[in-house]
């Protein structure tokens, strides 16, 4: 089984060409939906009593949502604007709401998950919750600059209890205080995690595993409309694929990284989760095969 722990949000996304208000968003939403095309995930998250029924239906469709807690109050709310190039985002408003007092626990039925994805939650919370699982075979976490700036030592402690981290290049540099990404990855691995995936947005990703470096270029896209959730879709696709193979061998991990790239590329082609929810497994396999064909020489 695969479990995803993270945020479910109500997003307002502003790009130069369009504003999408009150969309279903959040790191766990993107990661879980992306993962679901490979392996149906359990979801640990919280929403408020304002959470629209239609969004509940989306989560029910793609996930085992029995771990979704309905709390009194309003759902976590995020509002952000992209610049003209869609490469940088400014936060206009964040309301934690029900997320603020959420004390997540792992439901009994999820405890036997072999695969666990911990999204960009409070690192101390991630470190605590991973211990509630009984037989984790492979865990992966994410983190963001906010936690690195405010709780760096907790982020480093989290590296000691997870198998892998997916992290942006700039965040890896910030966390390790190192410019060179190979040196940065080695430093992170010294803190305990066996596997580091550095995401470089339009430049693809670098996987570090023992002495192996696996660089993979991004799927080149001419029309990107909304980068929201690309990183979470990458992570979800990656761990979903590994869960479906029930494997953590290098070959499976390389393929998983490419599936991560593929899912990220679908995510940014439409607004919000629209790039993911309309997909079929065949769409995904076709893009994977196309990618393989263009990258190989």
State the residues that interact with a second copy by CB under 8 A. 84-85, 179-183, 200, 202-204, 206, 212-218, 220-222, 224, 251, 254-255, 258, 292, 294-297
Residue number, 132 or 269, with CB nearest to a second copy = 269
Residue number, 94 or 247, with CB nearest to a second copy = 247
Residue number, 215 or 278, with CB nearest to a second copy = 215
CB of 83 to a second copy, least distance (A): 10
Q: 267-297 burial by CB neighbour count: b if 16+ within 10 A, else e? A: bbeebbbbbbeebeeeebeebbeebeeeeee
CB of 247 to a second copy, least distance (A): 14
Residue number, 156 or 181, with CB nearest to a second copy = 181
CB of 90 to a second copy, least distance (A): 17
Residue number, 109 or 183, with CB nearest to a second copy = 183
**If DSSP codes are grouped into helix, strand and coil, which group holds residue 24?**
strand
Residue ranges of E strands in 96-227: 115-118, 138-142, 164-168, 195-199, 205-209, 212-216
Residues 6+ apart with CB under 8 A from 272: 11, 13, 20, 23, 24, 25, 226, 228, 229
CB of 38 to a second copy, least distance (A): 17
Give the DSSP letter of residue 4: E
CB of 198 to a second copy, least distance (A): 10
Cβ atoms 39, 243 nearer than 8 A: yes
């Amino acid at each position: 089984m695969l479990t995803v722990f993270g945020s479910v949000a109500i997003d307002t996304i502003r790009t130069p060409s369009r504003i999408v208000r009150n969309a279903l968003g959040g790191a766990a939403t993107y990661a879980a939906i992306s993962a679901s095309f490979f392996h149906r995930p359990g979801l640990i998250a919280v929403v408020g009593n304002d959470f629209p029924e239609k969004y509940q239906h989306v989560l029910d469709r793609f996930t085992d949502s029995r771990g979704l807690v309905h709390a009194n109050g309003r759902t976590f709310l995020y509002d952000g604007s992209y610049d003209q190039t869609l490469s940088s985002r400014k936060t206009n408003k964040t309301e934690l709401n029900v997320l603020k007092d959420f004390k997540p626990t792992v439901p009994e039925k999820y405890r036997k998950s072999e695969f666990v994805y911990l999204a960009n939650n409070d690192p101390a919370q991630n470190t605590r919750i991973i211990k509630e699982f009984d037989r984790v075979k492979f865990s992966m976490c994410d983190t963001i600059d906010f936690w690195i700036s405010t709780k760096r030592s907790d982020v480093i402690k989290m590296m000691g209890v997870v198998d892998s981290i997916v992290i942006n290049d700039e965040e890896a540099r910030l966390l390790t205080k190192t410019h060179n990404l190979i040196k940065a990855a080695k430093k992170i691995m010294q803190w305990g995690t066996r596997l580091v995936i550095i995401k470089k947005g339009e430049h693809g990703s670098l996987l570090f595993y023992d002495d192996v470096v696996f660089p993979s270029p991004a799927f080149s896209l001419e029309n990107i409309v909304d980068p929201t959730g690309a990183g979470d879709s990458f992570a979800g696709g990656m761990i979903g694929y590994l869960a479906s193979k029930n494997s953590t061998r290098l070959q499976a991990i390389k393929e998983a990284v490419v599936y991560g790239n593929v899912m990220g590329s679908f995510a940014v082609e439409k607004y919000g989760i629209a790039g993911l929810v309309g997909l079929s497994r065949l769409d995904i396999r076709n893009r994977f095969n196309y990618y393989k064909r263009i990258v190989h020489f």
